Amino acid sequence: MTDGRSNWTKEEIDLVVALRNQGHAWRAIARKLGRSDTMCRFQYERQTGQKVSGDSRLPHKSVSETSHQPKVNDIRAGRAPNSEPLPIGHPAIMKGLWNGLERWRDSTDTDQ
């Protein structure tokens, strides 16, 4: 995937940053430049100072900027110790029930 070049020109680095900020994938940027996607990502990180994930399409945002999935321990810690469970028929309960039933149905359909 790479032709063994080690020196990056200022124009190549600027192109990596510009394409990535437009939302292009690392693989597409690497193909355009004839470089590896890992090295393109490394150059982007060096230039912008932002740490990015290898599989994401857009630059990494800090935890405060993104809506991340809370962990179970975070949810439990946020509840009061004497709080009541959700009532039967609550939308969150019903959604979980239906998702479980659909997965069970799909797994039994493939077994036959």
Answer yes or no: is pLDDT of 73 > 70: no
- 5, part of any domain: yes
- The burial class, CB within 10 Å (0-12 / 13-18 / 19+), for 88 is exposed
- Note the pTM of the prediction, 2 decimals: 0.45
Can you give the residue range of the structural domain that contains 49?
Answer: 1-59
Task: Give the residue among 25, 21, 14, 12 at the shortest CA–CA distance from 61.
Answer: 21
The per-residue pLDDT for range 1-12, each reduced to its tens digit, is 445 567 899 999
Contact between residue 40 and residue 30 where contact means Cβ atoms under 8 Å apart: yes
- 28, part of any domain: yes
- 16, part of any domain: yes
The per-residue pLDDT for range 79-104, each reduced to its tens digit, is 666 777 778 888 888 888 888 888 88
